[in-house]
Amino acid sequence: IEKETQKLSSEPPPGVTAVPDKDNYRYFHINMSGPDGTPYEAGVYVLELFLPEGYPMEPPKVRFLTKIYHPNIDKLGRICLDVLKDKWSPALQIRTVLLSIQALLSAPEPSDPLDTGVADHFIQNRKEAEEVAKTWNSKYAK
């Protein structure tokens, strides 16, 4: 964990800052820039990441604290992402998880939703759903 933390501060993923909590080295405060060319562009999203006792044998727990309109992220900020569940491997690192979340922002997967209402909107009217995502982005993301 210490090595990963040092690497995150010396070589952060592009558009991401991950700072360990001063009172708990397993808890990270994350700021993630919305990817260019997406409805999330220019927004800065706040996430929390927690490394459970079983890490690296079990995946980190990550969730969005900033409201976001996305089919794979629910109202509580939980994220539907394979590397946080069944595709987790101890070879993966915090950095990989953060890059995967950024990729998910660039390419929503409405066919594998966590929020079915948002997913239906993305499937039925992608342009309108992306407009809602942009509105939420300007309203909630810093």
Q: Where are the domains of the chain?
A: 1-141
Interatomic CA distance for residues 132 and 70, integer angstroms:
10
Tens digit of pLDDT for each residue in 54-64? 999 999 999 99
Summarize the confidence of residues 56-79 as an average pLDDT.
Answer: 98
Q: Which residue has the tokens 């499937």?
A: 123
- The CATH superfamily of 1-141 is Ubiquitin Conjugating Enzyme (3.10.110.10)
Reported as a single tens digit per residue, the pLDDT across 88-127 is 999 999 999 999 999 999 999 999 999 999 999 999 999 9
Catalytic residue ranges: 80
- Average pLDDT of the residues of the chain: 97
Terminal Cα distance for the chain, rounded: 29
For the segment 67-71, the average pLDDT, to the nearest whole number, is 98
Residue 29: its pLDDT value, please? Answer: 98
